[in-house]
Every structure is written in C-alpha cells, then in structure tokens.
Amino acid sequence: GGLGGLARILRAYYEDRLTYYAVDLPETLAIQEWFLRACFPTTPTAFKGGRAKVQFKRGGLNFVNAYVLESQNIGFDAAVNIDSMQEMNEDAVRAYIRYFEDNISERGVFYFQNPGPMRKLLPKSSAYFQGMPEDMAKSFADKSMGYG
C-alpha cells in the first residue's frame, strides 16, 4: 500500500524469491506501479484492472485493482494491512477479511495495524497470525489490535 516503500524494501531483500501483490485503489496503485517499476525495471510485472483472469508473474510485481480483487483467487503467505481499513465502510472491511481467510496459506500470517472501530471486525484470537508461536500471536494481537 501507500506509495510502495514497504514493497521496495521487501523486493530489494527477497529479490525474485518474492511474488508481490499490491492491492489498492486504482489511483494509488498507479503511483505504486510507477515507483516500483522505476526501482526494479527488469522485474516482470502484471496488472489486473478488470474482472478478466490475469496470469500473474511468479517472482514479480503484481498490481491488482481493489475493486476487482474478489474476481480472482490469489493464494498468498502473508498479508499486510496498515492504516487503510478505517477509510472503508464495514462491508468492504468484511469482504477483505473474508478474502484473506479464503486465500491465505495454511501457515500464512496476516498483519493488521489499523486504528479505530474497524479492529472490532477481527476475531479476538490468533487466527490471523497463523504459523506464529501462540505467545507471539497474542503479543501481536494485544499490541496491534488493542486486545488485552
């Protein structure tokens, strides 16, 4: 999300071992795509702007219009959401959470850092931190989601 800074750091570290999916509003996605393509000009990229199925680039940068995310299942190992769900209505937040639940790998991790009332939509369990030791998951939940 954002302008692509976290994606740049992850891509620089993991190189082609990382298959990255940026899911955002079209206007923000265009900036991310421009920035990341400028940082990694030889990295393969794909863009999903409509409901048609897209062949994503393994080991590449993949950009997905948030309005059509649900039209294609994308498996992933980690999801990060920082400071965006408070900008969405409750139905949109529930749709994202459902998508994460349906598509995250068995040992996947979902890091959620959002202030405000949308935190209440996540269950008060470590289910969103699958694959982490229980004490670490509880620590993330307590600090990140305000649960105690």
Q: What is the pLDDT of residue 83?
A: 80
Q: What is the pLDDT of residue 123?
A: 58
**Does the pLDDT value for residue 10 go beyond 80?**
yes
How would residue 124 be classed by pLDDT, with cut points 50, 70 and 90? low
**Does the pLDDT value for residue 30 go beyond 80?**
yes
Q: What is the pLDDT of residue 148?
A: 31
Q: What is the pLDDT of residue 86?
A: 81
Give pLDDT tens digits for 50-62. 999 999 999 999 9
Q: What is the pLDDT of residue 131?
A: 44
Q: Which residues pair with 146 in a beta bridge?
A: none
Q: What is the pLDDT of residue 19?
A: 95
Q: Name every residue whose Cβ is closer than 8 Å to that of residue 37 and which is 6 or more positions away in sequence.
A: 43, 45, 61
Q: How far is CA 87 from CA 29, 90, 94, 117, in A?
A: 16, 10, 13, 11
Q: What is the pLDDT of residue 140?
A: 47
Q: Structure tokens of 40?
A: 């990694």
Listed in sequence order, the DSSP H helices in the chain are 5-14, 26-39, 90-103, 134-145
Pick from 109, 27, 11, 102: nearest CA to 66: 27
Give pLDDT tens digits for 127-141. 454 444 555 555 544
Give pLDDT tens digits for 81-105. 888 888 888 888 888 888 988 898 8
How would residue 143 be classed by pLDDT, with cut points 50, 70 and 90? very low
